[in-house]
Chain A
């Protein structure tokens, strides 16, 4: 049986798609058979971040409507053998997704994969609800910023009341906090919420902290999930988070501001 993992947040633009791509790639790199599904119907983007945009033929809506078989729509990654991508539709709207349709897809994928990652759209409407409905685990992506924390709290409430596990009164969805776009310098200056504050407010286990990093944009420019950039702080932080997800102990890195010498302070140093 596959584990269904939703990457969600409520708020848009916090790093769900970046994190979905990184996690899916990281899990697959460790030999787990992984498929990542883009639930953002109408605003497909995971294909670009994964670098497979030119290979999209069919999408999730085609599969649900019976226009294509699941196997035809799945794109196999060329870099990591055990990784597949199921793209979202760009032309249809989110009403094209149905609970029965999604259930069918997840049941079929469960036979062949260890992990099914669901990249949720923003909001708490249909697309987002469907992305989290079948989840066994949830990665809640949060930025150190008031509206993002509030929306994460909201989505935690939804996970606890409207997921399939909640409706069937089974063991609740396992929740993980992933803080992204974390800027230790601004935290130190008191301009950004501290890690402990976010943890205290949301009170779910911390899976990882991904620093704000220029390499994320670079990675998206080339369609290479940032976890493949082993040089970058963000890539390394994602790799650590994947390890923790798989049960390894890893200390958190990149959460303290680098002590800068006078030269760097004068001329500025940028995060890699």
Chain B
């Protein structure tokens, strides 16, 4: 408490506890659904990469999967780095 707060007396609640509540509500909503189910993300990533690899030569190490669990909406972002055009042509030509 700073000295200013002291003279102000009762303060308005700051936001850290309400942030805690909000974060808990979101994460628990997701965890409750997923509780009795296996984590599907690793498999999803594997299968997606396999599909893309059928069309483009990709480096499996250059696949990024990001999930953002939101209250109303979640986003799953899968970023696959494609090789440079030269390398792609070579891969296509080799077939």
Residues of chain A having any CB pair with chain B under 8 Å? 145-146, 149-150, 153-154, 157, 161, 187-194, 197, 201, 265
Contacts and interface: CB of A to CB of B under 8 A. Distances in A.
Contacts, number: 50
A192 B18 CA distance: 9
Given A149-B24, A154-B31, 15 more contacts: A146-B20, A146-B23, A153-B28, A153-B32, A157-B35, A188-B13, A189-B11, A190-B14, A190-B15, A191-B17, A193-B21, A194-B17, A194-B21, A197-B21, A201-B21
Given A146-B23, A201-B28, A161 B17 contact: no
Contact of B31 (A153, A193, A197, A265): A153
Interface in B1-57: 1, 6, 10-18, 20-21, 23-25, 27-28, 31-32, 35-36
A239 to B, nearest CB: 28
Contact of B17 (A153, A187, A201): A187
A150 B28 contact: yes
Contact of A189 (B14, B23, B24, B32): B14
Nearest to A146: B20
B32 A197 contact: no
Contacts of A192: 17
Contacts of B18: 190
Contacts of A145: 20
B28 A190 contact: no
A145 B6 CA distance: 25
A150 B36 contact: no
14 contacts: A153-B31, A154-B31, A161-B35, A188-B10, A189-B1, A190-B13, A193-B17, A193-B20, A193-B21, A193-B24, A197-B21, A201-B21, A201-B24, A265-B6
A265 B20 CA distance: 27
